[in-house]
Amino acid sequence: MLNVYDILETIRMIQDECLDIRTITMGISLLDCIDTDIDKACEKVYNKIVDRARNLVPVGQQIEKEYGIPIINKRISVTPIAMLAAACPNQNPVKFAKALQRAADTCGVNFIGGYSALVHKGFSAGDMALIQSIPEALDVTQNICSSVNIGSTKSGINMDAVKLMGQIVKQSAERTADRDCIGPAKLVVFCNAVEDNPFMAGAFHGVGEPDCEIHVGVSGPGVVRSALTKYPDASINEIADVIKKTAFKITRMGQLVGARASKELGVPFGIVDLSLAPTPAIGDSVAHILEEMGLEMCGTHGTTACLAMLNDAVKKGGVMASSTVGGLSGAFIPVSEDAGMIDAAVAGVLSLEKLEAMTAVCSVGLDMIVVPGDITPETISAIIADEAAIGMVNSKTTAVRLIPAIGKKEGETLEFGGLLGSGPVMPVREKSPAKFINRGGRIPAPMQSLKN
C-alpha cells in the first residue's frame, strides 16, 4: 500500500499550503485562419478555437475532481495575431481581439493570450497596426492578453519598438484609468520571448509549435516555504536540496495532470513550465520563501543571492520530474500578485532597482509593478530597454509589465482584484532618458549571439 506519510503530505500540500496546478493552457495555431477578408479571418479564428478548446474546461474540471488537485486557470494561447493582421492591411486588428473574446466566452477560459507581435529585429506587415491597436484591444476586451517581443540575444534590441511600447503602455493605462488601469496588466513586453509559455499575460503559440498542444504551469510557493520551515538551522546547500525534492514532487503532479489532459483532449502534450507562481493569497508567496531562508524582508541585501539559489534548485528538482520542460520555468516575482512582495514594496524595502537585479537570476522580469501615473513614455521605454538588455546579454527571457497608475502617485495603491492582486505605486527616477530613447535604431546583438 501507499505510504501513509506520503498520502498525508500530499493532502496537506493541497489543503494547507496552496498547492495547485496554476494553469492548463492549450496552444492553438491560427496560421490556417489567415484570410485577406478580416471578417472571414475572425470567423475562422473563432471556429477553430471553439472547435479545439470546447472540452478544455470540462476536462480540466474532471481532472481536478479525480485527482483532488485544484486547477486554477484554463487558458488558450494562439499564434501571434500580427501574422493574421498582416494579410488584412488597412483594417483594424481589434476585430481579432473581439473574435478572441467571443471564443473565450464560449469556451469558458480565463484568458486567451496571443494578441502579439514579434518585432525584435524590425516591423513586418501587420506588426505596426497590431501594436498600435493594443490599447483599444485591451480596453474593449476583458480576457485577452497581449505581448510584444522587442529584443533577443540573437538579434539585439529594436529600440524603435522600445520607444513605441513606452507610449503603448501609457496609452493603455489612460484608456482604462476608470478600471484601475487594468489594460497594461494584460500587456507584456518581452526580450527572448518563448514560444510555449503557458503563463499569462505573455503566452502565445509560436510558429514552430504543432497545430494544437497542451502545456501545464505548476505552482507551489507555499509548499516550498513550508518545507523550509522544518530546517531552521540548515546550511544553504541543505536548503537547496530540500527545495529540489519539493520541486520534484510539484512537477510530477504537473506532469501527471498534463499527460492526462493531453490524453483526454486528444492533443499532444507540450511542456511543463517549472515555475513557482505566487498568488496574493496568504501562504502563497515567493517573497516569503526568501524570508524563510533568512532575510528579514524581501528586497534587502542578500535577496538576489537567495532568489538565484531558489530558481536554480526549482529547475534542478523539476527537470527530472517531467519528460519535457519548457516555457519560462523559474520563480516568478510579480509584485502585485505576491503578498510578501506587496508588503516589502509598501515598506520601501523592495525597490525597482532591486527588482531589476532580481530579474537577472530568475524567471522573466519586472512584473506587475505599479508606477506613478505621471511617468513619461520615455521613462517606461527606458525601463523596458534596461530589462531587455539584461535578457539579451544573459540569454534569458526578461519581460516588463508596468502599470502606470493614472492620477495616482507614490504611496497610493491600485486594486486589480483576483489573482492580479493589488500594487503600491513604486517610485521611479525623475531624470529624463528621452534623448536616448528618441535616437531609435537597434542595439546590435551582443557577442553572446555568435555561437555558431
Alpha-carbon distance of 189 to 277, in angstroms, equals 19
- The footprint of other proteins on residues 393-432 (CB under 8 A) is none
Bridge partners of 156, per DSSP, are: 152
Alpha-carbon distance of 97 to 114, in angstroms, equals 9
323 binds other proteins, rule: CB under 8 A: no
Q: Would you report the helix, strand and coil content of the chain in percent, each value rounded to 5? A: 45, 20, 35
Phi-psi domain of 367 (left: phi exceeds 0; alpha: psi -120 through 50; beta: other) = beta
Specify the residue, 2 or 450, whose C-beta has the smaller distance to other proteins.
2
- The footprint of other proteins on residues 326-365 (CB under 8 A) is none
Task: Candidates 73-81, 168-176, 245-253, 309-317: pick the segment binding other proteins (CB under 8 A).
Answer: 245-253
For 315, the 3-state DSSP assignment is helix
State which of residues 249, 288, 354, 408 lies at the interface with other proteins (CB under 8 A). 249
22 binds other proteins, rule: CB under 8 A: no
For 137, the 3-state DSSP assignment is helix
Specify the residue, 1 or 447, whose C-beta has the smaller distance to other proteins.
1
244 binds other proteins, rule: CB under 8 A: no
Q: CA angle, corner 201, sides to 42 and 187, nearest 5?
A: 80
All cell numbers assigned to 121: 529585429
252 binds other proteins, rule: CB under 8 A: yes
70 binds other proteins, rule: CB under 8 A: no
Which runs of consecutive H residues, i.e. helices, occur in 266-332? 286-292, 303-319
Alpha-carbon distance of 102 to 24, in angstroms, equals 20
Q: Is 438 exposed, middle or buried (0-12, 13-18, 19+ CB in 10 A)?
A: exposed
6 binds other proteins, rule: CB under 8 A: yes
450 binds other proteins, rule: CB under 8 A: no
Specify the residue, 322 or 336, whose C-beta has the smaller distance to other proteins.
322
8 binds other proteins, rule: CB under 8 A: yes
- What's 425's DSSP letter? B
Specify the residue, 68 or 441, whose C-beta has the smaller distance to other proteins.
68
Task: Candidates 5-13, 74-82, 135-143, 402-410: pick the segment binding other proteins (CB under 8 A).
Answer: 5-13
Task: Candidates 67-75, 170-178, 359-367, 391-399: pick the segment binding other proteins (CB under 8 A).
Answer: 67-75
Interface with other proteins (CB under 8 A): 1-4, 6-11, 15, 62, 65-69, 249, 252-253, 255-256
